[in-house]
Structure formats: structure tokens, C-alpha cells
Amino acid sequence: MKLIVKNRTIPLRITMLQAILRWLPKNHPKRPSIEAELARREAGFRGEESIDDYLDFLPEK
């Protein structure tokens, strides 16, 4: 079985949340929940990236 290696890119959802926060006023009632979701998704993405570093050390087979 051959392993398919793809380059990891920033998920669209993270990009969208970042764009929303740039435009949303600081005192908007939804801002805290959007910031919390963005923080969770960014943490997950960083976790996936850290796993990639370990996987790079494994032999291809």
C-alpha cells in the first residue's frame, strides 16, 4: 500500500473566522463565542501540524 502525502494547508473555516473577527466590532455580543471557536480550531490545527513532524521520522513502509 502506498501512502499519499499531502501538504497541510490552513482550513477554510479558520480563515473565515479570522476574517469575521477583523470586521466584527469589539463590543459585538457574538465576538467571544467566535474567538473561542477560532482558538479551538487553531489549537487542533497546530496539533495536526505537530503530529506531522513526528510522522516525518517514520520510514515510508
Question: In the prediction, which pLDDT does 1 show?
Answer: 57
pTM: predicted TM-score of the whole model, two decimal places: 0.81
* Element of type H or E holding 33: helix 31-55
Cα angle 36-45-32, degrees, rounded to a multiple of 5:
10
Question: In the prediction, which pLDDT does 3 show?
Answer: 62
Question: In the prediction, which pLDDT does 60 show?
Answer: 72
DSSP state of 27: T
For the chain, the domains span 11-20+30-61
* Element of type H or E holding 15: helix 12-23
The residues of the chain scoring below 70 in pLDDT are 1-4, 61
Give the Cα separation of 41 and 14 in Å (integer).
7
